[in-house]
Structure 1
Amino acid sequence: MAQTLIDHRTEAAFEVVELAYQHESTTWRQSHHLVALTDTHGLVITAQSPATHAAQVRQAAELMARSVAARTSA
């Protein structure tokens, strides 16, 4: 299963890497939200779904990442 990088961005609260790949003739998306908790610890929130549902799943993962980041910076 070969994966293709389709997005990589850095925001104030986290970094995002998004990949696409084929599985059983269906295109899937996988996103990794990297949230720094401290200088030495981080959290990775991973979400994946068929590409047809990727926007909803990515939005949910991003909401979780923002929630964690808000709690660690408070």
Structure 2
Amino acid sequence: MGNKKNEQKKEYLATYKFGKTVVKIVAPPPMTKEESQRRLQDFYNALWDIWDSLSVEEQLKLNAEIEEEKRLENMRKSHDIK
């Protein structure tokens, strides 16, 4: 938990209570379509920077893991396994 003096008052889109757990949904501030697109592009660029920082071996390993997950998911779907 943070210092109360440094915390900003947060606005929540919704609040749900599940037993003793409280889930607060935070919505982004209002923004123009252009600002939203710029933020998405910044996010996309950051992800590619992270990907490019990996070695070729790490990239190949991650790609193989994802392909295996897709293969298993397709098998589950075709056999209706959950």
TM-score (norm 1): 0.36
Greater relative CO, 1 or 2 (CA 8 Å, sep 6+): 1
Q: Which has the higher helix share?
A: 2
Structure with the higher strand share, 1 or 2: 1
TM-score (norm 2): 0.33
